[in-house]
Amino acid sequence: MYQKLREAIYHVAELEGSRLNGEVEMDESYFGGRRKGKRGRGAAGKNVVFGLLERDGKVYTRVVEHVSKEELMAVIQKKTRKGSVYYTDTFRSYNSLKRLGKHHRLNHGKAFAHGGKNHINGIEGFWSFAKHILYNYRGVSKYHFPMYLKEVEYRFNHRDDNLFKLFMSIYFGYVSP
């Protein structure tokens, strides 16, 4: 039953995900894997997730195979409006963002925030939230991981709503008033 609910949430989250605009933070993160060791981009056996967060708004996540410029830019063009203000780290796959809108970079080697609006703390906070929720499952297969991730995304985007009623309406299609 839970798996069917996650499948339904996955499809609802994809359908309700409108284009993000305004100030958009983006970052990639790595989930799972059997072996401890290398962290970040060099880690083997991890699920690579790319995320977009509209400040004071919604988040959109996508499991990606690679963090190549082509793959990330395709997601960015599909899920954000041209003319947005983009906040990223200095990863080279984001170099061509300036053609879509204003692009601010944050060098994590020097600081995690430069004061003011130049930070990606929102999406980093979402990664922490997602890893905290997913840790409770004590391991999710690569096959099922996108559905679990969309569940976390849906919970985050509807954090001010009654999730029980939303889940009931997704699963059964009807909720009593």
pLDDT digit string, tens, across residues 41-70: 656 678 899 999 999 889 999 999 988 999
Q: In the CATH hierarchy, which fold is given to the domain comprising 20-149?
A: Nucleotidyltransferase; domain 5 (3.30.420)
Query: Which pLDDT does position 59 carry in this prediction?
Result: 95
pLDDT digit string, tens, across residues 77-110: 999 999 999 999 989 999 999 999 999 998 766 6
Q: Helices 145-157 and 121-135: crossing angle, nearest 10°?
A: 120
pLDDT digit string, tens, across residues 163-174: 888 888 888 876
Strands 102-106, 85-89: pairing is parallel
**Is residue 61 helix, strand or coil?**
strand
How far is residue 142's CA from residue 32's CA, in Å, rounded to a whole number? 9
Yes or no: say if 80 and 20 are a contact pair by the CB < 8 Å rule.
yes
Would you place residue 113 in the very low, low, confident or very high pLDDT band (cuts 50, 70, 90)? low
Q: Where are the domains of the chain?
A: 20-149
